[in-house]
Structures are given as structure tokens and as C-alpha cells.
Structure 1
Amino acid sequence: MPTAIAVTSADLVLPPTDHQTPTAALLHAPDAQSLDAALADMTVLLEQHGYVIAVYPATIPLAHERRLHTVRSVLESDRIACLKLDLPPLGVAVLVRQLRQLSVCDFSPGVVASAARLLSHYIYAGALLNSVTKLDRVPVGLKSHAKSWVPGSQFAVLANPAPQLVKVGSGELAGPEFSTQLLVGKGQLQSDWAASELAPAWQAQGVQETALPSDSPRWWGTSRLIEFAAYLPDISVLYQLVSSVRREVCIWCGIELIGDRCGFCSAPLAPAENHTHTAGVLIQGAPMHQSS
């Protein structure tokens, strides 16, 4: 059985890209499920899948995050990974689906878990907003704040991989230099900007719409928004990208990993080994090797 991918909200589970992509398990909040029930559910997942990768956004309530770590601690299991993602909600959903795709490949659970940090660099997550006055997760200058009070103003904001903010009509967001698809979640803002302007500017190979995650208005500071995420949709590209990175063994828990941190125990790679790490990068849509 593939490694289980679990999430803290049902709207982080996007429709599968093909019949092989498995769904994700739901880890309920403490106010919706008792600790005993959460322990029982996790035990079943471990028995069925061997390993569980719990993915959750950095914005979930502290009590929910504590529940995840409590379950891991009580079960005394080193086969549960708790991955906190500092991405906008739609970006988290995209990354969750990519991990679901990778879970059925011939990668070890440790490689799948640590691949989350690598793949997040290739997700361009942002939103179209009618106001940035309550936006506190992306740097906003005083000038932009002032403009947001002008009726009809709209702002294109990129939160990942690097923060950007432009007023629509006076600039463009710098996009990916590799082939992507664009996923769009519409809130209460009425606009076709994402499909008619952003997608062509970023040379997206396709545009798909999905429901807006429930946490998006809180994350972006307004319900009048359109959230978007450009991502790598092809599992063969994802596979090659992850395969291009040198694999190491965690000195603390013994699980295989890529990158500089274990996805299961969060231990950093031993400093003496860092120089042997090989990073995979994408150039114009083609995975390349770059030795360091």
C-alpha cells in the first residue's frame, strides 16, 4: 500500500489527476473528534499503510496542531510525519495532491515527506485582491495600502516562492520559467483576470477552476479575492525532479531523505554531508542536475 497522506481539512483534497492518485485521510480537529478516536484512526492508517504523512497549513489553530503531535507522541511512532506548510491554502492543496501522486511511486516514505520542501519552490501561489489593507502575510508598502482605498483598485499578489505585489494594470507578476497549469479558486471577487491575463502571461498550459478553500479569506484578509496556484501537473516531471536529488539517511531516525532536513523527525542533515547534496532544478520545463 502507498504511504498515507493525511490533511487537516477536507477542502485541501483536490480531485485526483488520474485514476492512480489516491485520496487523503482527514485528521479532525479536537473539537470534532476525541483523542481516543483520533488515536484509533491513526492506528488504522499505520496498520494499512505503514507510514503516515500528515500535512497541515501553518495557520491551523494551535489546538489542532497540538493534537497531531499528541497523537504521534502517545503512539510513540516514528512512522508519522507532521509537515507544516507556510503556503496559501490553495498552494497547500496543490502540494498535497503532488504528494499523493508521489506516494504511489517507488519512493520511500522519507523521500516523499522531504520532497514537500523541494516541490514547494515550484508552486507559484497568489491571489487577486480588491484590498490589501488586512493582508499581513505578504509585505505591503504604505503606497499600496493607500491605493487599496481607491474604489475599483485590484492587486495581484504572489506569496510563494517569493513575495510580489503589483497593482493590476500597472505591472505584472514574475511567473515560472517552466511549464505549468493554473488552478483558480474564485471567492466573492468577480473577474476573469486569472484566465484572460495571468495564464497567458505565465504561458500556462491550461486553466482549471476549483472551490475556494474555506481558510482562504482569512489568509488573504478579504473574502473578495480570486486565489490561484501555478504548478507542475505531470507526475513524470515530479518523479524526475525528486529522483534528481541525492538521497541521504537521517542520522537520528534512520529514514531516507532528500534535501537538508528529515521529513519525519525534522532533524537537519549532518553538516559534513551537506556538500554532497545534489539539487534538482527545472530549466524551461526540463529537470536538470546541478551539483553543489
Structure 2
Amino acid sequence: MYALPTAIAVTGPDLVLPSPDRHTPSAAVLQSAVQSPRTYSLDQALTEMHTLIEHHGYVIALCPSSAPASVAQRLHAVRSVLESDRIAVVRSDLPPLGLAVLALQLRQLSICDFSPGVLASAARLLSHYIYAGALLGSVAKLDRVPVSLQSHAKSWLPGAQFAVLATPRPELTKVSGGDGTDLPGPGFATRLLYAPGKLAPGWVTDALAPAWHAQEVTEARLPGESARWWATGRLVEFAAAIPDISVLYQLVSSVRRDDCHWCGLELIGDRCAFCAAPLPPPSERPSQRTLAHGVTALPRGAT
């Protein structure tokens, strides 16, 4: 139905991980989000987005919740001026490396037979299966994950290190010795990516990866936003996620699909990612179309 894969757009070049194969397209880096409005005018931003729509039909723009308000405002302004229902602005609470992983998964799925509406709303579903965190040398200023007063006090001790999980469930534990089992990990096969900052990655590669039964461990470049997100440069960021496109495909295709009552696009979950219209109550919906596949139950709140 769609001549070219739906464009996956990101707000910075650090969110573009290398393609795992020659079939996976790259992501479009939105210069309107990278550059200041003083140097990149609204007209340029409109041209940039219009070109993506012309080439791909639909655009899914991933925007971190931690991004400055001006970034999200510019994206919504572009969408409004273009009066286009082909742009989905998807906000995410994932930390930088986790968001890069999500972008890669959507890029992989963009070449499958999913409609743009399903692909865009799949971002929320897939986020529940990304275990994103960091090894930190200090949690004194960390405000994105709950930190106890005791942990704050311990963070001032010389050599103290903390393992922090941001998603899917916030967790924090003090690292002692080579034990990596205190941080709850995924119960499914993953590829673990890690990006060193000013800490050595030994605990992540030698303790955490085996404890999480990671099938593959790969080093990545630390996103420029990571030090600000984690409130310290003394870190090693990591993210474990499903690498197999066939498993990702089965996961997304197993979820009930509905048609958005406002814009008509397909969706999974309870809200359209393109027009933001909520799904009506079950009593007001037309007959459902379901796809049955043998996939384990989804996390609470994933759909």
C-alpha cells in the first residue's frame, strides 16, 4: 500500500544506531530539533518535514520527554502549519540510549507490512520491553528515577557506584563487587548495548550481561544527552532489548487493531499516535478485528 517505508525521525544524530543489516533504513535527523530556531527558520523546518512526507507518505517523529520544551513546540508548530495528519509526534520517557534502541526497532519494523498508524502506536508497546539504565558514579543529582535519602548519602562515598534501571520499572541498587543480579532484568532474549562515559564498563559487560543472559553484548557511542539525563558524566549507559525482527513483528501483530474514529488510521492501544484521539469505550466501538498469535501476555498498561 505504501511505496516507501514510513519515515522514522529523531531529534538528534546520537539517536541513530547503525543498521543491523542492509534492509533496515536509517532514521531522519530533524535539523529543526538539532539547530536553534535562530539559525534554522520555521520555513526551513516546514520544507524539511514536507520533503519527508513527500518521499515517505508518513513521518513518526520520536521526541524525548527530556528535550527542551522548544523542541516539542517546534514539531507541533510544523504539524499545525502543514495541516498534516501524516505526522506523529511521539514523546518518550526512555533515557537516550533506550530511545535510540526504540528508534532502531521502529526502523526495522517500518519495512514490514504494518500501516503507519500501527507502527506509530507500537512505540508505546515496544517501550515496555526495553530495559534501559546506567551504572552511575553518583546519584546525588539524579531526579528522573526515585532515589532514597540513604542512596543520596552513599553517593558521596569515594568509589561508590550505583546500578539504576529507568524502564520498564524504576530500580536502584548499590553495586558491590562483581554481583550483577540485584538489578531485575528481562525474562526474554535480548541484545545488550552499552555506552561508556567516564566509568569503566567492566561491571556491565562482566556482571550485568551474564546475569541478564544477554545473547549479544555490543558497545555503542554514548549519546550527548546522556550526562544531562543521568545528572552525571561518571556513567555507563546500557539498554537491553529484543533484537530479532521476527519476534518484534509477532509482538506487534498479536495486539488487537482498531480504526481511529477521528482520522481513520489503524491503531493499537488506547490512543491514535497521529491525531491523539482516544479510543472510544468498548460499547461504542465497531466490531473488533483481532490477530491471534502465540505471544505471552503484555505488561499491564501496554495496550
What is residue 81 of structure 1 aligned with on the other side?
88
Match of 1:182 among 161, 182, 192: 192
What is residue 7 of structure 1 aligned with on the other side?
10
Paired amino acid for 1:262: C
Match of 1:207 among 217, 228, 236: 217
What is residue 26 of structure 1 aligned with on the other side?
29
SS at 1:287's partner residue? coil
Q: Distance in 1 between matches of 2:84 and 2:43?
A: 16
* Cα deviation 1:133-153 (Å, max 9, x = unaligned): 010000000010111111111
1:187-202 paired onto structure 2 within 5 Å: 187-202=197-212
Greater CA drift, 105-114 or 266-275: 266-275
1:258 equivalenced with 2:268 (yes/no): yes
Which ranges in structure 2 are unaligned for 5 or more consecutive residues? Answer: none
* Cα deviation 1:21-50 (Å, max 9, x = unaligned): 101111123244111111111111111110
TM-score by length of 1: 0.94
TM-score by length of 2: 0.90
Cα shift at 1:287:
2.8
More strand, by proportion: 1
Cα shift at 1:223:
0.3
1:95 equivalenced with 2:113 (yes/no): no
SS at 2:66's partner residue? coil
Cα shift at 1:279:
10
1:272 equivalenced with 2:275 (yes/no): no
What is residue 59 of structure 1 aligned with on the other side?
66
Q: Is contact 1:244–1:279 with CA below 8 Å preserved after alignment?
A: yes
Q: Percent identity?
A: 64
1:136 equivalenced with 2:143 (yes/no): yes
Which ranges in structure 1 are unaligned for 5 or more consecutive residues? Answer: none
What is residue 167 of structure 2 aligned with on the other side?
160
RMSD: 2.0
Q: Is contact 1:245–1:277 with CA below 8 Å preserved after alignment?
A: no
Q: Is contact 2:257–2:288 with CA below 8 Å preserved after alignment?
A: no
Aligned residues: 287
Change in CA separation of 1:160 and 1:32 when aligned onto 2, cut-off 3 Å: farther
Match of 2:241 among 231, 234, 237: 231
Q: Distance in 1 between matches of 2:292 and 2:229?
A: 30
Q: Is contact 2:191–2:240 with CA below 8 Å preserved after alignment?
A: yes
